[in-house]
Amino acid sequence: MFYSKHMTDPLPIPPERRRARGALSNEAGRYDLERVHVDDGWDLPDDVPPLATETRIERPRSVISYNRSPDLDFDRAINPYRGCEHGCVYCFARPSHAWLGMSAGLDFETRLIARPDAPDVLARELAARRYRVAPIAIGTNTDPYQPIERDHGIMRACLEVLSQFNHPVAIVTKGAMIERDIDILAPMAARGLCRVGVSVTTLDADLCRRMEPRAAAPMRRLAVIRRLSDAGIPVRVMAAPMIPALSDHELEAILAAGAEMGACHASTIPLRLPREVSGLFQDWLAEHVPYRADRVMARVREMHGGRDYDPQWGRRMRGEGAYADLLQQRFRRACKALGLAHDAPALRCDLFAVPPRPGDQLSLF
């Protein structure tokens, strides 16, 4: 057995310990090179409980992160949490845990970091004279409505700040907890300040449970689309990621179900397997759908120039080749038939204003 210097769990981890988790292993992070070999000669099973979620607190100096990626439609984002308890085995954000000295495997979904000061830091950053308004994305790395939000409420507090500043926000989630914040989101949407994307990877509840063990069930996500839409919040149904030879046949059905629930926009992205995610996903395939594993990975590599993943801007989100082109053709045809627009109207930035603070001198005009 191997242990990392950060006490990462041994490999392999017994199934009973990782019940309701996505990853099958906890390989040390790519920046954690020091390991210790432990062999006591007994080879006896450890009597240990299932992996519990642990949450640590981080006090950030800044919360708005910026990117210059030309294939993204936003240049700034907020992450109330690091790591994600939803445990989606294919999650492209898993490698970000390596920067914290932890594993992209089970650490990513069991060793979480909450940032309770994020709302106050956000307010300070928005109020800075040098700040220039543009839509902020939330949920593009880890889900802001994962289970620990119920206890910490950081996402709701961030939304309250954004509402006070009349700041535009675009949210992506798989979590049903977003319904709790309709009282904030609906008035923001009425002012042209908010839109939401709900990710629906599959309509197969059994596949969802194995692949996204702690995310909301497919029918529950569709119900979320209905609730948000009925409240006047523009909703995008995100058929993403589409997994070749596993869930890709559901593309049209997912879009149709989202449209029926009131979604007015749609998007799709093929499976992405950057860095450690490829190995984690292939382990998952071998355990859960071994009869399809080779076919799935053959199609993935076909889309990425023979590799598990192509990080090149412009290709990483779409793939290339006959299969990727066919997926896009199917998507466009379904959207046209269902009346789903590809792009949502731009969010308003002209309403942004720093709210007055106690003691500020009021304007005479």
Parallel, antiparallel or unpaired: strands 81-82 and 111-114: antiparallel
Give alpha helix (H) positions in 68-153: 106-110, 118-127, 149-152
Number of domains, the chain: 1
| Residues spanned by the domain of 34 | 2-44+53-338
- Quickly state the pLDDT bin for 10 (edges 50, 70, 90): very low
Say whether pLDDT at 25 is over 60: no
284 belongs to a structural domain: yes
Q: Return the minimum-mean-pLDDT range out of 122-131, 183-192, 312-321, 346-355.
A: 312-321
359 belongs to a structural domain: no
- Residue 96: the pLDDT is 87
pLDDT in tens, 234-264: 999 999 999 999 999 999 999 999 999 999 9
- Residue 103: the pLDDT is 82
Report angle CA 176, 181, 187 to the nearest 5 degrees: 130
Q: 220 CB contacts (<8 Å, ≥6 apart)?
A: 176
- Quickly state the pLDDT bin for 5 (edges 50, 70, 90): very low
Question: Contact 222/168 with Cβ under 8 angstroms?
Answer: no
355 belongs to a structural domain: no
- Quickly state the pLDDT bin for 207 (edges 50, 70, 90): very high
CATH code where residue 169 lies: 3.20.20.70
- Residue 70: the pLDDT is 74
357 belongs to a structural domain: no
Rounded to two decimals, what is the model's pTM? Answer: 0.85
SS3 label, residue 61 = coil
364 belongs to a structural domain: no
223 belongs to a structural domain: yes
Range of 12-16, 93-97, 125-129 with top mean pLDDT: 125-129
Q: What number is the average pLDDT over the span 147-166?
A: 96
Strand partners, 36: 3
pLDDT in tens, 100-113: 888 888 888 889 99
Q: Report how far apart, in Å, the C-alpha atoms of 346 and of each of 73, 168, 197, 212 are.
A: 11, 10, 14, 31
Question: Contact 247/201 with Cβ under 8 angstroms?
Answer: yes
361 belongs to a structural domain: no
- Residue 40: the pLDDT is 44
- Residue 337: the pLDDT is 96
Say whether pLDDT at 162 is over 90: yes
- Residue 248: the pLDDT is 95
Q: Return the minimum-mean-pLDDT range out of 70-79, 169-178, 211-220.
A: 70-79
Say whether pLDDT at 292 is over 70: yes
Taking the C-alpha atoms of residue 88 and residue 22, their distance in angstroms, rounded to an integer, is 6
If you ran DSSP here, which 8-state letter would residue 295 be given?
H
Give me the residue label for tokens 């080879």: 43
159 belongs to a structural domain: yes
SS3 label, residue 347 = coil
